[in-house]
Amino acid sequence: MRPVIAIASGVLWLASTSLAHADTYPRQPGVDAWHYIFRIELSDASPEITAEATVDLRVTRDDVREIALDLASPANGKGMTVTAVTSGGHPVRFTHANNRLTLDRGLTPHVAFTIKYHGAPANGLRLLQNKYGEWCAFSENWPNRAREWLPVIDHPYDKATSEFIVTAPAKYQVVANGLLQSTTDLGDGRRATHWKQSVPIASWLNAIGVAQFSVHHAGAVEGVELQTVGVHQDADTGRVYFEGPAREAVEFYSGPARP
């Protein structure tokens, strides 16, 4: 992906005197993240997650031999431990150190890796109790904390579509990016919830929330279904607080351009 660069005299001066603030992320020319599928298992009895991610990439240069993803390495009882990586059903050699998961690319321009891992997130995904003393899980990825629990190219320069399939105890509801695809009770006290994000987004925007939510369906606004979601204790307050401003915002930005 090609960066857009704006140049002005003030910007040039700032760049020459503030190199400490330069973007030093190690980009990978010829590697383009295309689609992520995150399968996450959560339990209110454990600080760890069990996960499997499928990372779909396009490689546009023949000299690319390895592909690196950002993923927190284990340290002080936190971080992610990778147990297996496969592509097309075959094992892939990998190294995982210094928060980078490096994979052998193979020979095809389109490559998909499936990564199995587990661990306790040090950041990015918070497993905690809310103010009512109930277990919940919320992501907080900005600016580069998606790597704390998701194997991604963790920089806004490479955007991709994504899916979350989150398995959690059935008493909790799951919200995530995009459109809800399905909820499936697994018969063992757990439920799998599938969300799909069909517009490419930066990695840090991949978000989930898991709690005992109350969902209010507020009808459609400009053809878009409007819902308010909040913890069940705040159902009435949340509906009043969010529904009106959300409706007004959708109506405003769906209208004609204003001078």
Pairing of strands 208-211, 173-176: antiparallel
DSSP states of 223-241 as a string? TEEEEEEEEGGGHHHHHHH
Of the given ranges (26-40, 42-56, 210-224), which has the lowest mean pLDDT? 210-224
The domain ranges of the chain are 26-122+143-205
Query: What is the third-level CATH fold of 26-122+143-205?
Result: Immunoglobulin-like (2.60.40)
Q: What is the pLDDT of residues 118-166, one digit of tens each?
A: 999 999 999 999 999 999 999 999 999 999 999 999 999 999 999 999 9
State the pLDDT confidence band at 240, using cuts at 50, 70 and 90: confident
Cα 256–Cα 201–Cα 144 angle in degrees, nearest 5: 130
pTM attached to this predicted model: 0.88
State the pLDDT confidence band at 13, using cuts at 50, 70 and 90: very low
